[in-house]
Amino acid sequence: MDLLSYGDRAVLAELSDGDAAMALAAALRAAAPACVASVVPAARTVLVVAAEGSGVAEVRAVLAGLPTSASAMPDDDGGTLEVPVVYDGADLGDVAQLTGLTVDEVVAAHTGQTWRVAFGGFAPGFGYLVGEDDRLHVPRREESRTRVPAGSVGLAGEYSGVYPRESPGGWQLLGRTDLVLWDTGREPPALLRPGVTVRFVEAGR
Residues 104 and 143 in one domain: yes
pLDDT of amino acid 71: 53
pLDDT of amino acid 78: 55
Q: Are 201 and 180 in contact (CB under 8 A)?
A: no
Residues 109 and 161 in one domain: yes
Of 72, 95, 125, at which residue does a domain stop? Answer: 72
Please list the helix, strand and coil fractions of the chain in percent, rounded to the nearest 5, in that order: 20, 35, 40
Q: Could you give the number of structural domains in the chain? A: 2
Residues 116 and 57 in one domain: no
Q: What is the CA radius of gyration of the chain?
A: 18
Domain holding 45, by residue range, is 2-72
Q: Residue 205 and residue 198: Cα distance in Å, rounded? A: 20
The residues, ordered by sequence, that sit 6+ positions from 132 with a Cβ below 8 Å of its Cβ are 113, 114
Average pLDDT over residues 153-181: 96
Residues 68 and 93 in one domain: no
The residue among 49, 48, 78 whose CA lies nearest residue 191 is: 78
The pLDDT tens digits of the residues spanning 69-83 come to: 765 555 554 579 999
Residues 185 and 100 in one domain: yes
Residue type, 114: T
Residues 85 and 158 in one domain: yes
pLDDT of amino acid 189: 94
Q: Are 195 and 180 in contact (CB under 8 A)?
A: no
Residues 125 and 178 in one domain: yes
